[in-house]
Structure 1
Amino acid sequence: MIRITKSIISIFLLLSCFTTVVRAADFKPLPQWMKTAVFYQIYPQSFKDTNGDGIGDIQGIIEKLDYVKWLGCNVIWLNPCFESAFQDAGYDVINFYKVAHRYGTNDDLKRLFDEAHKRKMKVCLDLVAGHTSIESSWFKASQKNEKNAYSDRYIWTNDSTIKPEKFVSGKFERNGTYMKNFFDCQPALNYGYGQPDPKCPWEEPVTAEGPQSTRKELMNIMDYWMEMGCDGFRVDMAGSLVKKDPDLKETTNLWAEIRTHFQDKFPEGILLAEWGKPQQAIKVGFMMDFIIHLRNSGYDTMFFNKTGTYRRDTCYFDIKGNGSPDFFIKNLTTQLCAAGNDGYICIPTANHDFQRPCCGERNTVPQLKTVMTFLMNLPGIPLVYYGDEIGMRFIDGLPNKEGSQLTKGNRAGSRTPMQWDSSDNAGFSSGNNSSLYLPIDPSASRPTVEQEKKDPSSLLLFTKELIALRGKYAALGNRGEIKFLQSKDNQYPLIYERRLGKEAFIIVINPSGKDVSVSLDYDRVVQKVFPVLNSSKHKIIDYKNKQLKISAEPLSYGIFQIY
């Protein structure tokens, strides 16, 4: 009987897994335009100020659409632009249906959608699905004693003396404490619990009235902006909506329902996850997920040095040349395998939550060109965080601004004003709010867009060239395959192959300050090696007798087409 029981359980688990896979396979196809998508992330308050109040605005984004298109990016992702208390830079939303006054109006955002579409570009909004601001009218209504439509939209204990982990107490009409998602000012919306504990009556099942109303409201919010002209959403903390859901069963059900609803109405729209683990995010229904600093991805081992929001003693892209790419390569390979053709990964240059490539001792154009060569020549959808294309640096030691300070570090250093033109101190020198994000010291040496457009050796023109190569060669594009070639005995240089059909390239990147030479077995027949992009005047690759001989100078890079 014990064996029979175990067998039955095993079969049941297998069928459960099979059901999830079938459900994922039944999703409508991904939008075709994702095959050639190149993202540009804009932090609205720091991008371009047009009214002199010291804060970026939607009009500023409209004015710079041609620049983003010129760079080669065709999709924009905006950090939250809804009405907010700005205790967490817009991630504490007061009203999901209204643009924050500092940025403009709903009509301004609609005009941004329209202007982007005229240029064959797309705009994705940031959707803070898991929580609101404590200033939200929904949360204020939920605090009341009498039962109302919002009483169960948040997660409240039934006694103010009960305060589990992540619950916040205060002076409320109702007798209870509320659950937060991140900061205390961000009460968690109630999507229910995957495995509710009967001893905790506030842990409602996902089928309860409150969680069901919350998910319907989320779909209403998405419909509202999509009908206005939005092209999709990046969903904040996407995997955390349903609580206590270790097997992701109810999380999968939630996003499967949302994706089906979404694609039925907007088949060209996209859903992107802030999850940090594509093998999970894509399985539950997202079309793209980021490999970033979350979930032990290896991103930090490649880029994080001794300066920044998150710090390490060593990383691979360091002139000292004592890092290792092994952990990152292993995770990337796993995630690409798991995603298959069901979705895309995205490895951004940086974002609003962690440091830029130009950070600490990695602060010269040759160093940054090695980073950009790598990030713009990976499979998946590339993303340029505003300013990284000109080498804007992470500014250490800034004060806490709108919740930028975390326990481990300050995010403000990655949120400084876009450096358009030094003559106006990046366009953020005037207005009562000019100290929102401190302008960089005008006496300091710093690149600007206008300067770099005129410099043939600039990082800006180099990044533009890399993006153009992705569009020219399918093997270097979003669906091109990747195979890393170096062994554990040869950590430097980084050598990998990009291939699609008969088209093939070898990329060589040496971010160290040392000359490195290695010989590798290469089982493909090579008749010719053509340098598409080469930082060295010398021959980096030589092929003889099924061996690649690589000789890479310090801070060198090359993209070589092989025939």
Structure 2
Amino acid sequence: MTGPDIDRQWWKEAVIYQVYPRSFNDTDGNGVGDLPGVVEKMDYLDDLGVDVVWLNPVYESPGADNGYDIADYRAIDDEFGSMSDWEELLEGLHDRDIKLIMDLVVNHTSDEHEWFQESRKSKDNEYRDYYIWREGRKVDREGGPYGPSGEAPPNNWESFFGGPAWSYDEETGEWYLHIFDQKQPDLNWENPAVREEIYDMMEWWLEKGIDGFRMDVINLLSKPEGLPDSDDEDALVVGADHFMNGPHIHDYLSEMHEKVIEKYDAVTVGEMAAIDAEQARSYAEDGMSMAFTFDHLRLDFGPNGRWSHGTFGLPELKRAMSYWQEGLGDQGWNAIFFGNHDEPRILSRFGNDGVYRAESAKLLGTLLMTLQGTPYVFQGDELGMTNYPFESLDEVRDVDTLKNVRLAREDGRFSDEAELLDVVRRRSRDNARTPMQWNTDEYAGFTDGEPWIPVNPNYEVVNVEAERDDYDSVWHYYRGLVDLRHDCEVLVYGDYDLFFPDHDDLWVFTRTLGDEQALVALNVSDTSTQFEPPASVAGADADLLAANYDDIDDVDSVDPTDLQPWEARVYKLA
């Protein structure tokens, strides 16, 4: 993909910054971040140099899953502000040449959405077929859950949040499907009326001026006929082999692209668990700009999956990431991320959040900005924010964490509370949701009230004000990386080639675009490591484009050297 063959797109050349508004900036003192709070910080985003803001849901919602349970797709929740606040944000971002993409959550709605409220009234209601309702099954076994008449759920599928993916509704005596929380009933995408409602809503937002959508769990939309039981023991959850990448998913997404997306210069990024590179390429053919994939985020799963802890080495991480670098090199496009609102902090998961906090945060930023694909920065990662040191479940707010903890206790999976809390500290989505750390004021300058979730106690050291005053900080390094990516086309469109795939400490690769070439050398360890350049570039004339240590002598070639703990270097080869 070189020279005139480059398929240039604005979203390929962009750096995207994810704003989780509930935890970004609170202006009314109620402890919850809001849209005026994002408006207030637009200059901060502009100063960082990002090109796009991805805004997590701010739609009307009862908040069972922090806004991913939507009650009205065309209304702003009062907790976040008003539609005029949102319009002010859109206008302000566009005035700063920053685009805005919104979350599209259409696998499910809230059970408080008017469609579902109507759907549950009777079996012949006109909205009944907007959702997936089934009769229960008669069984002769102990255990639950059961409806009042003794039947079990329609099949054995499980929810990602733990327990059955079905809930019984007494009003009509049937069960409805919810792959997530019971307050998030799945929409029935087989119904053309549902699809037309969704497409009309998407066009409504695009006409308001947004620049695209991040599509929540978009490859779960299609469920197979008959909703059969699952017997796949390797599935992420029971049933995922049936409801992930279902039989009509490509029909739906191609239709969505044809009826809505292709009319606009809009980006679409799909959240897609459990796909491979071939499937990703097929989604690109449906019109999907890029996809979030999760192989690298499952490396630390333990014997009981996500709610147990496992270990991995750098070779496994390189293998997981390089698979996608190579698999989508010429067809499709990568969305590069190491964390978001659903994952632990990248620094605590992949770096060293202690002695080498700043160095490893800078190294991870270097990796993020130099891999092939569009980089996504989650709020606070540009500061080196870390996981929260949970001391009690009283500090946890996440419905996913709390439900899985309850189920783990019931199953006796943890020997004691200390072991359970250790997994919560490593795994809870709340790690990423603690308030943005702006300064050393009470509650890190996030709010004048009591925050909805505790502030990480390290805010007195890790905060925007302190880091912007320190030119050697993580923030300033990230700012430089954003500029570097904007300035170096090879870092956007260049081919990726990995060296030393089995090295336990070094991650070394080149990016090549025609006659241009960059070399990235990372020491992903707590100890100094000897770097012997690959033979193809050893001794080559080079300029040092980025380095996260400032005690490096003048560099004019690629020579053997000791890389210090968590040292990162980016060379431009002459």
Conserved in 2, the CA contact under 8 Å of 1:540 and 1:551?
A: no
Relative distance call for 1:338 and 1:440 in structure 2 (3 A) is closer
Aligned residues of 1:536 and 1:556 also touching (Cα < 8 A): no
Shift of 1:121: 1.0
2:167–2:178 CA contact under 8 A, matched in 1 = no
Which amino acid in the other structure matches residue 200 of structure 2? N
Change (3 A) 1:62 1:31: farther
> Which range moves more in the overlay, 392-401 or 136-145?
392-401
Give, in angstroms, the shift of residue 389 of structure 1: 0.5
1:508-527, aligned counterparts within 5 Å?
508-519=521-532, 521-523=534-536, 527=540
Aligned to 1:480: 494
| Contact kept in structure 2, 1:157 and 1:176, CA below 8 Å | yes
Structure 2 equivalent of residue 234 of structure 1 = 214
Deviations 1:296-344 (A, max 9, x none): x13454x899xxx8664545xxxxxxx223x333343433344345432
Residue pair 2:215, 2:270 contacting (<8 A) in 1 also: yes
The answer as to 2:448 corresponding to 1:430 is yes
Among 337, 353, 356, the alignment partner of 2:342 is: 353
Alignment root-mean-square deviation, CA? 2.7
Is this contact kept in 2: 1:273–1:289, CA < 8 A?
A: yes
Whole-Å Cα distance in 2 between the matches of residues 314 and 167 of structure 1? 29
Q: Is the 8 A contact 1:355 1:414 kept in 2?
A: yes
Distance 1:108 1:476, change over 3 A: same
2:301–2:308 contact (8 Å) kept in structure 1 = yes
1:198 aligns to what? none
Please state if 1:368 is matched with 2:361: yes
What residue is the counterpart of 1:183 in the other structure? 181
- The change in CA–CA distance for 1:451 and 1:543 in structure 2 (over 3 A counts) is closer
In 2, the alpha carbon distance for the partners of 1:529 and 1:32 equals: 29
8 A contact 1:30–1:342 mirrored in 2? no
Deviates more, 1:402-411 or 1:377-386: 402-411
Per-residue deviation, 1:413: 1.9
* Per-residue deviation, 1:529: 2.2
Q: Please say if residues 347 and 385 of structure 2, whose CA atoms lie closer than 8 Å, have aligned partners that are also in contact.
A: yes
1 CA distance for matches of 2:86 and 2:447?
25
Give the CA deviation at 1:158.
Answer: 3.5
Aligned counterparts of 1:109 and 1:214: Cα–Cα separation in 2? 26
Change (3 A) 1:230 1:288: same
Once residues 146 and 299 of structure 1 are traced to their aligned partners in structure 2, the CA distance between those partners, rounded to angstroms, is 41
Decide whether aligned partners of structure 1 residues 530 and 51 sit closer, same or farther in structure 2, where only a CA change above 3 A counts: same
Structure-1 residue corresponding to 2:32: 55
Report the counterpart of residue 395 of structure 1 in structure 2. Answer: 388
Q: Is the 8 A contact 2:32 2:79 kept in 1?
A: yes
1:559–1:58 Cα change, 3 Å: same
Contact 2:322–2:498 (Cα < 8 Å) also in 1: no
**Match of residue 449, structure 1, among 453, 458, 464:** 464
In 2: Cα distance, 1:153 partner to 1:259 partner? 21
CA distance in 1, matches of 2:332, 2:383: 30
Task: Call closer, same or farther: CA 1:396–1:270 in 2, change over 3 Å.
Answer: same
> Counterpart in 1 of 2:230?
none
What secondary structure sits across from 1:422 in the alignment?
coil
Conservation of the 8 A alpha-carbon contact between 1:475 and 1:498: yes
Where in structure 2 are the equivalents of 1:501-512 lying within 5 Å? 501-512=514-525
- Deviation per residue, 1:484-518 (Å, 9 max, x gap): 11142x32221111221211111111121222225
Report the equivalent of 1:64: 41
What is the aligned counterpart of 2:291 among 267, 283, 289? Answer: 289
Q: Work out whether residues 278 and 288 of structure 1, in 8 Å CA contact, stay in contact via their aligned partners in 2.
A: no
* Counterparts of residues 195-214 of structure 1 (less than 5 Å): 206=190, 211-214=191-194
Letter in 2 for 1:180: H
Deviations 1:390-441 (A, max 9, x none): 111210326332525252642112101111122253334434xx34112334
- In structure 2, how many angstroms separate the alpha carbons of the residues matched to 1:278 and 1:51? 45
**Residue aligned with 1:76, SS:** strand
- Residues 541 and 549 in structure 1, CA contact (< 8 A), matched pair in contact too: no
> Equivalences for 1:110-189 in 2 at 5 Å?
110-145=87-122, 147-158=124-135, 161=151, 163=153, 164-165=155-156, 166-189=164-187
> Distance between the aligned counterparts of 1:227 and 1:427, measured in 2?
35
- The alpha-carbon deviation at position 461 of structure 1 amounts to 0.2
Q: 1:70 is aligned with what amino acid?
A: D
1:536 and 1:557 in contact (8 A); partners too: no
Decide whether aligned partners of structure 1 residues 251 and 146 sit closer, same or farther in structure 2, where only a CA change above 3 A counts: closer
Q: d(CA) in 1 for partners of 2:463 and 2:26?
A: 16
**Matched residue, 2:195:** 215
Q: Which moved more, 1:356-365 or 1:492-501?
A: 356-365
Deviation of 1:114 (Å): 1.6
> Gapped runs of 5+ residues in structure 1?
1-28, 192-205, 316-322
CA distance in 2, matches of 1:30, 1:87: 41
Do the aligned residues in 2 keep the contact of 1:31 with 1:269 (CA within 8 Å)?
Answer: no
- CA distance in 2 between counterparts of 1:453 and 1:310 reads 37
Question: What is the identity, as a one-letter code, of the residue corresponding to 1:288?
Answer: M
Aligned counterparts of 1:232 and 1:109: Cα–Cα separation in 2: 15
Mapped partners of 2:170, 2:318: distance in 1: 50
Structure 2 distance, partners of 1:218, 1:238, is 13
Q: Which amino acid aligns with 1:421?
A: N
Instruction: Judge conservation of contact 1:236–1:273 (CA < 8 Å) in 2.
Output: yes
Counterpart in the other structure of 1:80: 57
CA contact 1:404–1:412 (8 Å) conserved in 2: no
One-letter identity of the residue aligned with 1:382: P
**Equivalent residues of 2:518, 2:570 under 8 A apart:** yes
**Structure 1 SS opposite 2:129:** coil
Superposed counterparts of 1:245-256, under 5 Å:
248-256=246-254
Please say if residues 162 and 176 of structure 1, whose CA atoms lie closer than 8 Å, have aligned partners that are also in contact. Answer: no
Give 1:73 shift: 0.8
Q: Which amino acid aligns with 1:217?
A: E
TM-score, scaled to structure 1: 0.81
Distance 1:221 1:32 in 2: 25
What does 1:4-83 align with in structure 2 at a 5 Å threshold?
32-83=9-60
Evaluate the alpha carbon distance shift between residue 222 and residue 342 of structure 1 in structure 2; reply closer, same or farther with a 3 A threshold.
Answer: farther
Q: Which moved more, 1:357-366 or 1:379-388?
A: 357-366
Whole-angstrom CA distance in 2 between matches of 1:278 and 1:41: 25
CA distance in 1, matches of 2:68, 2:94: 26
> Residue 217 of structure 2 aligns to which amino acid in structure 1?
M
Distance 1:178 1:78 in 2: 30
Number of positions where the alignment pairs a residue of Structure 1 with one of Structure 2: 492
- Which range moves more in the overlay, 517-526 or 338-347? 517-526
Contact 1:82–1:100 (CA under 8 A) maintained in structure 2: yes
- The sequence identity of aligned pairs, in percent, is 29
- Tell me, in whole angstroms, the C-alpha distance in 2 between the residues paired with 1:338 and 1:324: 20
Contact 2:325 2:496 in 1 (8 A): no
